[in-house]
């Protein structure tokens, strides 16, 4: 059987509202999610044993053992249906712990590849159940603009027109979601009013800046350009600014990269 290629597109939280913390400890979210055309790349082929090979600019940050989220995805599917062992070649182009769903996108791409190999599909309930692997896995599995709610298990595909392009900037520092939630300090049972869905806001920004203060510098650098609005994605540290066109995104990304050559700066189209 020929190898299967899957792209793990960068997940962008165009808005992210934290609505509270459930009594089981999970945080309730409401987020408009889109995907940028910059991605990790997985090549998946049947094998006698599971094995992972990693290349790319962020290869050294990827764990190779069973704790890698792609193997959690494999185990999740294997518990429900027969799937083969696989050899996976992962080209790691997205920074890790960066708020753009790198690990979750990899897991989702692994799932799509496994299901193609097994020639099966998941129903809506099974897709929602992927949140057991990671909160962003269901939306990354769907891979198109969605409203994501609950703890990530409620996914509604959106038909609204998206902005054409954006510039992604990451200062190359990890920003763990658990650490940001800890700084936010919501107690069990705490709730917040739900804002209008169209409100461009990320409720995790202030806590992320406390966790990694350099995020403030990234936002400031983006705000000094013609990009608007400027926001943080996920729990950080990646931030973005919306561009009027991909050509504008390319020009403005080059300006930022020239001023901050140590940062990861990428223009991208939204889809």
- Residues annotated as part of the active site: 11, 136
> For residue 85, what is the DSSP state?
-
Please tell me whether residue 140 adopts helix, strand or coil conformation: helix
Q: Does residue 225 contact residue 248 with C-beta atoms inside 8 Å?
A: no
Q: Which helix (H) or strand (E) holds 78?
A: helix 69-78
Q: Which of 53, 46, 36, 62 is nearest to 3 (CA)?
A: 46
For 60-83, letters b (16+ CB in 10 Å) and e give eebeeeeebbbbbbbebbeeeeeb
Task: Report d(CA 211, CA 94) in Å as an integer.
Answer: 21
Angle CA 201–249–210, to nearest 5: 35
Query: Are 106 and 42 spatial neighbours (Cβ–Cβ below 8 Å)?
Result: yes
The C-alpha atoms of residue 128 and residue 139 are separated, in whole angstroms, by 9
- Of 190, 222, 251, 211, the C-alpha closest to 230 is 222
Separation between Cα atoms, residue 252 and residue 246, nearest integer Å: 10
Angle at Cα 221 formed by Cα 215 and Cα 225, nearest 5°?
145
């Amino acid at each position: 059987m020929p190898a299967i290629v899957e792209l793990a597109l960068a997940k962008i939280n165009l808005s992210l509202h934290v609505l509270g913390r459930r009594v089981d400890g999970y945080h309730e979210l409401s987020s408009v999610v889109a995907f940028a055309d910059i991605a990790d790349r997985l090549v998946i082929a049947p094998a006698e044993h599971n094995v992972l090979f990693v290349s790319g600019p962020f290869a050294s940050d990827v764990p190779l053992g069973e704790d890698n989220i792609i193997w959690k995805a494999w185990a999740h599917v294997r518990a429900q249906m027969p799937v083969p062992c696989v050899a996976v070649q992962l080209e790691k182009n997205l920074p890790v712990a960066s708020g753009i769903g790198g690990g979750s996108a990899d897991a989702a791409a692994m799932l799509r590849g496994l299901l193609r190999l097994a020639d099966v599909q998941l129903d809506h309930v099974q897709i929602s159940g992927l949140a057991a692997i990671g909160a962003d896995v269901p939306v990354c599995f769907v891979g198109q603009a969605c409203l994501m709610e609950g703890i990530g298990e409620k996914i509604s595909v959106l038909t609204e027109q998206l902005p054409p392009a954006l510039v992604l900037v990451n200062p190359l520092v990890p920003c763990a979601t658990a650490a940001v939630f800890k700084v936010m300090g919501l107690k069990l049972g705490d709730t917040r009013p739900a804002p209008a869905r169209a409100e461009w806001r990320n409720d995790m920004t202030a806590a992320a800046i406390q966790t990694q203060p350099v995020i403030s510098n990234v936002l400031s650098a983006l705000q000094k350009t013609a990009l608007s609005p400027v926001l943080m994605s996920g729990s950080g540290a990646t931030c973005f600014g919306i561009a009027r066109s991909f050509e504008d995104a390319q020009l403005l990304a080059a300006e930022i990269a020239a001023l901050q050559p140590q940062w990861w700066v990428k223009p991208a189209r939204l889809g």
